[in-house]
Amino acid sequence: MYKIVHICLIIILGVICVFDIKRKKIPVYMLIILAAAGIISNFTVGEFDIEKRIIAMLPGMILLIVSMITKQQIGYGDGMIILIMGLYIDIDDILSIVLSSFFVSSIAAIILMTVFKKKKNFEMAFSPFLLIGYGLVKGVYFICG
C-alpha cells in the first residue's frame, strides 16, 4: 500500500506540473485532490502521527509565508504542494526534496540565463523541479536501500 501512495503522489505531481508549465498556475482542485489523497492514505496505510505530519508540513508553511512576504516570487501553489507533501512523507525527505529541487532549478536557471540569454527576472514553474527532487530523493533511497 505504501508504494501505491507514492505512485499516486508522483502521478498527481506530474499532472500538476503540466498545468504549472502551461499556465504558470496550479489549479486549486488539484491541490484539494492531492491533500485528500494524503489524508486518506494516512488513515489507511497505518499509524497516523499528527505531530510527525505537522512537523513535515512546516517547510510548506514557511514557503507560504515567504510567498506572502515576497509578493509571490515563490508561488502560493508551490508552498501548498510542499505543505501537502508533508501529509505523505517525513520531514527529512521533505527537506531533501526541497533542497534538491532548489539545486536543480538553480542549475536550470543558470543554463537558461547563459545559454538561452533569459533575463534575471524570468519566471520558471517550480513544481517540475519538486517532481524531479522527489524522484531524485526517492530514487536514491530505492537504489541504496
Please give the Cα distance from 110 to 117 (Å, whole number): 10
Q: Helix, strand, coil: what percent of the chain each, to 5?
A: 75, 0, 25
Q: Are 4 and 122 in contact (CB under 8 A)?
A: no
Q: Which range of residues forms the domain containing residue 85?
A: 2-144
Question: How many structural domains are present in the chain?
Answer: 1
Over its length of 145 residues, how does the chain's per-residue pLDDT go in tens digits?
Answer: 567 778 888 898 999 999 999 998 999 999 999 899 888 888 776 667 889 999 999 999 999 999 999 988 888 999 999 999 999 889 999 999 999 999 999 999 999 999 999 998 888 999 999 999 999 998 887 788 6
End-to-end CA distance of the chain: 18
Its pTM stands at 0.90
Q: Are 67 and 78 in contact (CB under 8 A)?
A: yes
Question: Crossing angle of helices 76-85/2-23, nearest 10°?
Answer: 180
